Structure 1
Amino acid sequence: MSALAIEGLSVTLGGAEILSGVDLTVAAGEWVTVIGPNGAGKSTLLRAVGGRLAHRGSISINGTHVSALSRRARARAVAAVAQTPVVPPGMTVIDYVLLGRTPYISPLGRESARDLAVVDGVLARLDLVAFAGRLLPTLSGGERQRVFLARALAQEAPLLLLDEPTSALDIGHQQDVLDLVDDLRRDRNLAVLATMHDLSVAGEYADRMVLMAGGRVVAAGPPAEVLTEELLTTQYRARVKVLQGAHGPIVVPVRS
């Protein structure tokens, strides 16, 4: 049984069909990365899975259709990092990360010792302990990105959705964050569904890749089968050279 199973997923926004008949699975412990040109529907796909968009078709998590899950149950099953998360004003880092424990705290209750321990552990893993008392607006873009990821990891959900998780990070923190997600998905048997623009980085970490264009899946499989010069030239209208690296294909733009 797949941790995430999507069948015939379609989404219409403003009268335009953004996704059409998308089929996709992610197994427990598997990392699947969705790629594609701008406007392909990648972020829309993650928003639909995360429960933020109306859709047609079927989305099931661990064998249960999402329509059968309460809001609290869904928050325990799916954690997401959006490209531009909404941050409540006046929030410190530790208070924001503690929001990830909301599905486990009763409406009139307070966080438990375990909730605090989970948050402390996540802050330590993401090198954020020194920032715990800082207000989010005082952080750099890369620091905030790590805080957003920390909140999602604090949910301890079996499915993690990452929409361009390293877009605001320098190359060192990109590697730190992706290595951390890679370690956690192996340790916790997490299912990871991500979108990424950097094709070489995406190919290094993903077990499988899904190439979308025009709201449809046009290719899927191991990175070596999806990151080909023919497919990328056709779908991205780009001139590229694909080299074989130690951990996956390396995509190099080629000047005409």
Structure 2
Amino acid sequence: MLDLQNVSKSIEGKTIVNDITFSVQKGSCVGLIGPNGAGKSTLVKLVSALEKPSGGSIQFIGKDVQDWTVKKLARHIAVLTQGGLDPYPITVFDAVLMGRYPHLGFFERESKSDYGQVDEVLNITGLTDFRDQMLDTLSGGEKQRVAIAKAMVQQPQLLLLDEPTTFLDIGHQKHILKLVKDWQKRDGLTVMMVLHDLNLAAQFCDELVLMDEGQIVNIGTSRDIITSETLEKVYHTNPEIIQHPTLNIPQILL
């Protein structure tokens, strides 16, 4: 579904992303991990066509992302940034309804079908009771749920998440990522997310792409990537690695 070939990005002579090549299969969840400044967020911006690569190509369902119009690309790719939704003084219902805009024609108004989709997604995401509450009165975790709901009604094929659990407590972290995982399984959604928490990445991602200094260090499962030798090389620390008692995946203790 998504194919990156020799992708590079330089800004003012500084290389941020260097010769990145990998593919994302339909229906999979790929985690971008690595230390600060590794180029992960820049890569998300390149995939979403918010920025243009200095070299290489990014093909989405057989077409370069730079060749799509913004509105047509938004019908297929949804993006959730670290900050989530801006706290505008609008209701939760209206905030989620904005996800339908890419599917509307010029001067076309939302239909009963659009409203019905919003109500359905509010129910799925546990936001029905917040339907008429103002967005700017919600907590950080609640606003992230609204952002997920907005992306859900957008009905994308690919969801891009840039550190979606930052600043959230462990309860909200689990809830947000479980919403995404359930959505992935239910609709065959393809997901690419940036995560700093390696334990969460191991639990929720099918494949990990480890980056450092703008380059790919390794690609594989959590068992391939989360090893003492690899983490010491990239993060310059030597954590204890244990097996999750029920999931049988590596987890890190500092």
Alignment match, 1:51: 49
Which range moved further: 111-120 or 228-237?
A: 111-120
Which residue is equivalent to 2:95?
96
TM-superposed CA distance for 1:74, in Å, is 0.4
Q: Which residue of the partner structure matches residue 186 of structure 1?
A: 185
Moved more, 26-35 or 56-65: 56-65
Report how far residue 14 of structure 1 moved.
3.3
Q: Separation in 2 of the partners of 1:39 and 1:5?
A: 23
CA distance in 1, matches of 2:241, 2:158: 31
Kindly indicate whether the alpha-carbon contact (under 8 Å) linking 1:145 and 1:169 is maintained by their aligned counterparts in 2.
no
CA apart distance, 1:90: 2.6
Aligned to 2:117: 118
Partner Cα distance (1:84, 1:24) in 2: 27
Shift of 1:198: 0.9
**2:191 is aligned with what amino acid?**
V
Within 5 Å, give how 1:23-172 maps onto structure 2: 23-55=21-53, 56-85=55-84, 87=86, 89-172=88-171
| 3-state secondary structure, aligned to 2:242 | strand
Corresponding residue of 1:8: 6
Residue identity over aligned pairs, in percent, reads: 39
TM-score by length of 2: 0.94
State whether residues 161 and 193 of structure 1, in contact with CA within 8 Å, keep that contact through their aligned partners in structure 2. Answer: yes
What is the letter of the counterpart of residue 203 of structure 2?
A: E
2:100–2:153: 8 Å Cα contact kept in structure 1?
yes
Q: Determine if the alignment matches structure 1 residue 176 to structure 2 residue 169.
A: no
Aligned-partner SS, 2:75? helix
Q: Answer whether contact 2:78 2:159 (CA < 8 A) is retained.
A: yes
Give the 3 Å change call, closer, same or farther, for CA 168–126 of structure 1 in structure 2: farther
How many Å apart are 1:110 and its aligned residue?
Answer: 1.0
Equivalents in 2 of 1:188, 1:57: separation in Å? 31
Shift of 1:86: 5.6
Distance 1:14 1:118, change over 3 A: farther
Summarize the alignment of residues 217-232 of structure 1 with structure 2, pairs less than 5 Å apart.
217-232=216-231
Q: Cα RMSD over matched residues?
A: 1.5
AA aligned to 2:32 is: V
Question: 1:224: how far off?
Answer: 0.4
Could you tell me how far 1:88 is from its partner in structure 2?
A: 7.0
How many matched pairs?
251
Determine if contact 1:61/1:77 at 8 Å carries over to the other structure. no
| 1:240 paired residue number | 239
Paired letter, 1:69: W
- 1:30 Cα deviation (Å)? 0.3
Q: For 1:7, give the aligned amino acid.
A: Q
Amino acid at match of 1:170: D
Distance in 1 of aligned mates of 2:89 and 2:218: 44
| Most deviating of 220-229 and 118-127 | 118-127
- Could you tell me how far 1:15 is from its partner in structure 2? 2.8
**Equivalent-residue separation in structure 2 for 1:6 and 1:169 (angstroms):** 31
Q: Once the 2 structures are TM-superposed, how far is the Cα of residue 236 of structure 1 from its aligned partner?
A: 0.6
- TM score, norm. by length of structure 1: 0.93
Structure 1 distance, partners of 2:99, 2:105, is 13
Runs of at least 5 residues in structure 1 that lack an aligned partner in the other structure: none
Whole-Å separation in 2 of the counterparts to 1:54 and 1:85: 22
Q: In terms of mean alpha carbon deviation, does 84-93 or 120-129 score higher?
A: 84-93
- What SS is found at the alignment partner of 1:242? strand
SS in 1 for 2:26: coil
